[in-house]
Amino acid sequence: MIRYEETGHVFTLETAHAAYQMMADGYGYLQHLHFGGKLGGGSCDGLRPVWATAFSASPQVDVERQRYSLDLTPQEYPTAGGGDYRTPCLSLTFADGARNVELCYASHRILKEKPALEGLPSLHGACETLEITLRDRWADLEVVLLYSVFEEYDVIARSARIVNRTGAPVTLNGVLSACLDLQEDDFDFVHFHGRHAMERMVERTPVAHGEVSVGSVRGTSSHQHNPFVIVCDRSATEDSGRCWGLSFLYSGNFIAAASCDQSDACRVVMGIHPQGFSWRLEDGESFQAPEVALCYSGRGFGALSQSYHKLYRHCLCRGEWALKRRPVLINNWEATYFNFNEEKLFQIAKAASELGVEMLVVDDGWFGNRFDDRRALGDWVVNTEKVRGGMKALSDRLKEIHMRLGLWFEPEMVSEDSNLYRAHPDWCLSVPGRGRSRWRNQLVLDMSRKEVRDFIHDEMAAVLSSADFSYVKWDMNRHLTDVWSAALPADRQGEVHHRYVLGVYELLERMETEFPHILFEGCSGGGGRFDAGMLYYHPQIWCSDNTDAIERLEIQYGSSFGYPISAVGSHVSASPNHQTGRVTPFHTRGVVAMAGTFGYELDLSAITEEEKELVKKQVKQYIRLYDLINDGNYYRLTDPAACCLTAWEMAAPDGSRALLSIVYSHVRANLYPPILRLRGLTPDARYRLTGDDGKVYGEWTGAALMEAGFRPPRQHDAYPHGCADYAAFQIELTRVEG
């Protein structure tokens, strides 16, 4: 709900459990008043006055009194150059070299829908939108702020559009999407850092005087930092405390920062990283900043995560596969790498089909002269020496055994040893007269150029039209360097990073519109572009190249704070694991992979008969419990970095059933496992607890399981699965009627 009070110019946005309030003050500046619990219909105006102090200048409009300073005022969209020395959302240079911007309220309107953001991912669905136009006091420059209220999900989507009507070009030096000025300082900053094959590790640090920031200047959201952060009370836990989430719907360079100022107030900002960014905005043109999904929870991290999970499943992911059950797949990569032919692929598929698997994904190596990672990227033509008869012949054979076909692409990259590079060397990002950086023996195509995107589109479309494909894995295996485009003049090279991302989005939109029945999965060396922007185009993303089940516990734990289970690509892989060499039970690998889009990443024809029976059981279990796993409320019961075991729960929204998963990551002598207090159950109902091996653990009330808690089985009790190391348990809770 959006409410405007003309007296006082107060705007109030309400969701199911939260309120967001701001006002156009007496000088026309848009002040932030509140984002937190509901206000009972009242206003916060005057509750927390601020005054000017020494060395905080007053603007021209307060020159007589000098009692007002933007340096101390909580603002909705702060700017540079006007006396606010904190981190700005907007910094620019006018044609005359001036850099100060002074935005004041001009007008607003309330819409009954959410406008799409041209060329960018954005939330969709039932909502109201507040559009506030701010205008520079001295020049005809406008900033249009958009606030879309998704009441059911406790989320407000924010973005900004810069409109130049000055009569001359303006250079944008920094455009962030959202700012929260919270008038307190006792907060922690939670972010998700990592590296390739170890993404989204949780780190919690106090917000102090100065600034704590995370971000990426790698051209993608990156493995190293994720464009999702939380600011929270120092005492916040899974089930209590105030939390503010900021999730950036963007897949390129970003920054998220929090700082305390001289008045002990906290400013949090998020948007495109200003490093390396500039944008020439001609007179009459506009620049649209990407969207930030803001969420407030007064009930801890768990409620915050569940809001994002539901929102992204229902209001971000699109198309046929947004909510549809995904097929259980087998990927050939770890089974064959580049060494395969159509018969080997068919035998892998046949073995998988007999165990209930539904789709074969042919990974890298099916195209051009691609026998290793040194050549042929960009030559998207089926190698008929490897796959005789082409993909149609393979697809037809797979249909006979009731298997679908999927395919791997890396569209944004090119090998120097390729027909594409030999024909168009200028299509790469590369600075003339300077050396080039390389990784995996490949260069990056300039996706900002239409002719490049058209070529990739035509190549991919020809392949995907040649056979009956159900799935595409869209990979990207290096970050951007030597960022320079032959298609832009020298003074516009600062636009390349953003134009690259817009180009990727345009190509994705085009491909998915033409092939709506294909499930597209995102990937960037695993989780290097695991962000909300990509979820708009890919309803699932390969979570990490690290398929070690024990390592995945931390990776998937961190991912769960901001992203739904249905987005997490997760497979059972070989043991010893190819990334770590760790040996883990087959059952444990299945339990961990079932906290994501389930599949296999190994040669199922080479496993034991006992393991084949486990595969049959796992596939049936996953399909039977799919709705519970993906639509249930997700609860983190332990922190894998701080406990000998990792436990998580998916509970049906109506409390009728739940699935409890437990994995031991650290075996200790004489261990008493910790009590697990379950969540999401009906307090006065009784639940029967049954293991996936058929063992009944007993019946208890929901209240007993949630308040007194359940002590899980010891790791030694998993001996029926063949090993006590890294033991796992999967326990189903069923409400007993009558």
Instruction: Write out the catalytic residue numbers.
Output: 531, 611
Give one DSSP letter per residue of 662-724, joined into a string.
Answer: EEE-S--TT--PPPB---S--TTSEEEEEETTS-EEEEEEHHIIIII-BPPPPGGGGGGGT-S
Alpha-carbon span 685 to 735, nearest angstrom: 7
End-to-end CA gap in the chain: 41
**Within its chain, how far is the Cα of 207 from the centroid?**
23
Q: In what order do the strands lie in the sheet with 645-651?
A: 633-636, 645-651, 657-664, 728-736, 686-691, 696-701
Q: How far apart are CA 246 and CA 255, in angstroms?
A: 11
CA–chain centroid gap for 378, Å, is 27
Q: Is residue 267 within 8 Å of residue 87, measured between CB atoms?
A: yes
CA distance 658 to 679: 9
Q: How far apart are CA 267 and CA 71, in angstroms?
A: 12
What are 619's two structure tokens?
Answer: 């596939």
Helices marked H in 515-634: 532-535, 549-560, 586-593, 609-624, 626-631
Interatomic CA distance for residues 193 and 107, integer angstroms: 40
Query: How is the beta sheet containing 10-14 ordered, strand by strand?
Result: 2-5, 10-14, 19-24, 30-36
The answer for residues whose C-beta is within 8 angstroms of residue 624's C-beta and 6 or more apart is none
CB 329 within 8 A of CB 357: yes
SS3 assignment for 376-407:
CCCCCCECCCCCCCHHHHHHHHHHHCCCEEEE
Are the beta carbons of 348 and 329 closer than 8 angstroms? no
> Helix axis angle, 586-593 relative to 609-624, nearest 10°?
20
Please tell me the distance from the alpha carbon of residue 435 to that of residue 433, in angstroms, as a whole number: 7
**How far is Cα of residue 145 from the mean position of the Cα atoms in its chain?**
23
Question: SS3 letters for 415-456?
Answer: CCCCHHHHHCHHHECCCCCCCCCCECCEEEECCCCHHHHHHH
